[in-house]
Amino acid sequence: MVSNMKSFIFLFILLVLSKTVTSARKPSKSQPKPCKTFVLYYHDIMFGVDDVQNATSAAITNPPGLGNFKFGKLVIFDDPVTIDKNFQSEPVARAQGFYFYDMKNDYNAWFAYTLVFNSTQHKGTLNVMGADLMMEKTRDLSVVGGTGDFFMSRGIVTFETDVFEGAKYFRVKMDIKLYDCY
């Protein structure tokens, strides 16, 4: 009788736990559809001793030597943003801000920048910030506000490294999805 009672209690606990787990796995509500989407390409040319005219970014601090992943390096930038992969294309915006390397055991950076639009297609700004986990194929950063055509916008910018030529040049595809549009 005691053995049957223990088995019953054990099965009852399993049943209760399985219902709890099942209810926690309910499918989430469908994702909202973005009100505006577009793809842009961010081009960065790091300053070196022989390219003052072409440089669009510069390291303000050097890594302090804590590991092999540039931990502590701070870079400011004023980079051209185009609608295609060609660096020579007419920029539709400028990415103005900074990033710093914030991980000692892998490449990782934290970005804060403003996309400044001043073209026939768009006028205004989008403010973007978040972690760029560089070793991942795609990374999501947050759109935390905007002005002009992007007044009070919020959304996601998905980074995907398109070209990487060491510290000298890189190009990132930015898939921008806005969910609050006014």
Domain ranges of the chain: 32-180
How far CA 104 is from CA of 101, 132, 174, in Å, comes to 8, 14, 26
pLDDT tens digits, one per residue of 73-127: 899 999 999 999 999 999 999 999 999 988 888 888 999 999 999 888 899 999 9
How many other C-beta atoms lie within 10 A of the C-beta of residue 74?
Answer: 17
Q: Record the pTM.
A: 0.77
CATH dotted code for 32-180: 2.40.480.10
- Beta-bridge mates of residue 115: 95, 126
**Per-residue pLDDT tens over the stretch 31-76:** 789 999 999 999 998 887 677 777 888 888 877 777 777 888 899 9
